[in-house]
């Protein structure tokens, strides 16, 4: 999570307008709707049975929201025995969903964890809690270093029942990739590093060989980075800017194929503050649709 005061008016995108001259020749991107006020800090996203499931990040209730593809809330749940220190990502395996309480802007957390929830229990207030704790094996200094360290993360995916965590590196603007087994406490050792030249905020896997990372650079320009997955390793294929400015893109999920056999994804952004002359205003979070040819 990171809140910026944007010194400009965010432009609502309804198509692939040429705002910041991104390469839109190979994909289609559009705004679907504003998110409801109760989902002002959407930070993770998955798709189950054609529905979008998201959550807010730090300072919010331990809740999941179910949306249809137009952004309307169709269900929600507040868990009785979970806490939301800084929920930053969500992923699903064959039998469970996995909520990553791994936000670490200050670099001082010693309680990073993954909540594992059996799928048939996700809409129950009282659930059996399975928690996996994680640590970074190379971190020895836990002094507060606000956005000046490499031990933050906001993105997880699961491939072949293995979880991969992508770091949000505030120093190098790269992402380190860590693999970890499900349902186990893990000391993280870097799997590999990808030079994203930006801060990674989420990831999605298309169930074949493609992983899309979303994030933004130091100017808050949102981007998509395409990785190829093979034999446990990731290769950066390309990185493109999204045709919007000032939006804090925080989540992405793979939806499926369209009639043209193209990959369809949904993304969300957080609400942000903008400066309009001498005044300030709050711009709502938004839901987007991305069509990405394989």
Taking only the tens place, the pLDDT of each residue in 13-65 is: 333 333 344 555 689 999 999 999 999 999 999 999 999 999 999 989 999 99
Cβ-based neighbours of 140, under 8 Å, separated by 6 or more? none
pLDDT confidence of residue 159: 98
Asked whether residue 10 carries a pLDDT value surpassing 80, the answer given is no
Return the bridge partners of 264, or none.
256, 291
pLDDT confidence of residue 281: 62
Average pLDDT over residues 148-174: 97
Q: Which of 46-82 are b and which e, b meaning 16 or more Cβ less than 10 Å from the residue's Cβ?
A: bbeeeebbbbbbeebebbbbbbebebeeeebbebeeb
Asked whether residue 11 carries a pLDDT value surpassing 60, the answer given is no
Percent of the chain surpassing pLDDT 70: 89
pLDDT confidence of residue 15: 36
pLDDT confidence of residue 272: 83
Please tell me the distance from the alpha carbon of residue 179 to that of residue 166, in angstroms, as a whole number.
Answer: 9
* φ/ψ (deg, to 5) at 120: -75, 5
Q: Which residue has the tokens 């659930």?
A: 127
pLDDT of 175-193, one tens digit each? Answer: 999 999 999 999 999 989 9
pLDDT confidence of residue 292: 97
Is 234 within 8 Å of 10 (Cβ atoms)? no
pLDDT of 248-266, one tens digit each? Answer: 999 999 999 999 999 999 9
What would you report as the CA-atom Rg of the chain, rounded to the nearest whole angstrom?
A: 18
CATH architecture of 19-292: 5 Propeller (2.115)
What predicted TM-score, i.e. pTM, was given to this entire model? 0.91
Please tell me the distance from the alpha carbon of residue 187 to that of residue 170, in angstroms, as a whole number.
Answer: 21
Asked whether residue 122 carries a pLDDT value surpassing 90, the answer given is yes
Please tell me the distance from the alpha carbon of residue 66 to that of residue 68, in angstroms, as a whole number.
Answer: 7
Residue 135: burial class (beta carbons within 10 Å; 0-12, 13-18, 19+): middle
pLDDT of 196-238, one tens digit each? Answer: 999 999 999 999 999 999 999 988 899 999 999 999 999 999 9
Cβ-based neighbours of 207, under 8 Å, separated by 6 or more? 254
pLDDT confidence of residue 93: 97
Q: What is the mean pLDDT of the chain?
A: 90
Asked whether residue 2 carries a pLDDT value surpassing 90, the answer given is no
């Amino acid at each position: 999570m990171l809140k910026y005061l944007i010194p400009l008016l965010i432009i609502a995108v309804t198509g692939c307008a040429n705002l910041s001259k991104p390469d839109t020749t190979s994909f289609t991107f559009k705004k679907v709707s504003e998110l409801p006020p109760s989902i002002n800090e959407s930070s993770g996203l998955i798709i189950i049975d054609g529905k979008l499931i998201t959550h807010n990040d730090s300072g919010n209730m331990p809740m999941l929201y179910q949306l249809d593809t137009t952004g309307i809330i169709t269900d929600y749940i507040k868990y009785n025995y979970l806490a939301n220190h800084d929920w930053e990502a969500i992923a699903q395996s064959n039998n469970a969903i996995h909520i990553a309480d791994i936000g670490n802007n200050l670099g001082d957390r010693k309680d990073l964890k993954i909540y594992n929830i059996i799928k048939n229990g996700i809409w129950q207030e009282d659930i059996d809690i399975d928690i996996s704790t994680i640590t970074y094996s190379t971190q020895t200094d836990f002094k507060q270093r606000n956005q000046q360290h490499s031990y933050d993360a906001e993105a997880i995916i699961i491939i072949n029942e293995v979880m991969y965590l992508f770091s949000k590196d505030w120093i190098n603007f790269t992402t380190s990739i860590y693999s970890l087994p499900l349902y186990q406490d893990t000391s993280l050792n870097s799997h590999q590093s990808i030079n994203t030249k930006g801060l990674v905020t989420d990831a999605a896997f298309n169930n074949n060989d493609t992983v899309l990372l979303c994030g933004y650079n130091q100017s808050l320009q949102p981007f998509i980075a395409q990785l190829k997955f093979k034999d446990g390793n990731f290769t950066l294929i390309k990185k493109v800017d999204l045709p919007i400015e000032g939006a804090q893109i925080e989540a992405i999920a793979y939806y499926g194929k369209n009639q043209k056999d193209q990959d369809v994804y949904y993304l969300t952004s957080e609400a942000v503050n903008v400066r309009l002359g001498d005044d300030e205003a709050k711009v709502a979070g938004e839901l987007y649709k991305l069509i990405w040819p394989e």
